[in-house]
Amino acid sequence: MTVQPTEWNVVIVGRWNRAILTPGGIGKRLFGLGEGKLVEVAVPLDGVSPYLVKHPEQQILVMTDESRLLIQAAKPDYETLSHAMAAGFNALSNLPETPVTAAGFNLSFASKEVDPEMASLLVCGSETAIVDVGFNVVGRSLSRSLQYEGGRLNVTMVSGDEGFNLTLNFHRGSERVDDLKTWLQTPVSQVEEAANKVVRALGLDIQEVRDDTNAG
């Protein structure tokens, strides 16, 4: 079964000061931009949701609230993920007083269809008993937490009416800034190797991300 990369991001859980992480502050502290370099800001129409700040050259976007810093990879590939991880590292380096509890980078893959082999993998032993008492199963999930370096690689598979989703969450929990900085310095080639091992073990193929930047 073939899956396509979808949402990739970096998340740092902590008590972030949004008064410091203004668009200009993000440009300076996370992106490392010099004076005069402008960033693109997407303001939510509801006036409540956090705004998004986009790097002028790299395809990464930053959103922050009081409990987490989210750095999205607008293009879900490893080069863009490495930029997002570097921005997270910069945040921890330039705001070391921020109380933090965890950092992670997340890779999601999806397919609109679920082949029979994958569907059978997600069936648990108690499902027959549940169906026998009158319930219809409309969605299934399976999660495993794997030891990975100094943290965890959490593997989650979900299937339902909308298809199949695989999420790989590289998680490190710590209140030490240096631990989380080291985690975000994991070589992206190493991340790719680990992800490919899991994907191959599950019998999946990854569809290459098409570059549409020069299309049209």
Mean pLDDT in residue range 94-106: 96
pLDDT at position 209 is: 66
Spatial neighbors of 88 by CB under 8 A, at least 6 apart, are 10, 12, 30, 69, 71, 103, 184
pLDDT above 90 for 207: no
State the Rg of the chain over Cα: 19
Question: Does residue 176 sit in helix, strand or coil?
Answer: coil
pLDDT above 50 for 133: yes
Mean pLDDT in residue range 75-87: 98
pLDDT tens-digit series, residues 151-187 = 999 999 999 888 999 999 999 999 999 999 999 999 9
pLDDT above 60 for 215: no
Burial class for 48, CB neighbours closer than 10 Å (0-12, 13-18, 19+) = exposed
pLDDT at position 27 is: 95
Of 11-20, 45-54, 158-167, the least confident:
45-54
Domain ranges of the chain: 2-206
C-beta atoms surrounding 50 within 10 Å: 17
Exposed e or buried b per residue across 132-162, where buried means at least 16 C-beta atoms within 10 angstroms of its C-beta: eeeeeeeebeeeeeeebeebbbbbebbbeee
Q: Find the helix or strand (DSSP H, E) in which 73 lies.
A: strand 68-73
Quote the mean pLDDT of the chain. Answer: 91
pLDDT above 70 for 213: no
pLDDT above 70 for 196: yes
Of 3-17, 84-98, 157-171, 200-214, the least confident:
200-214
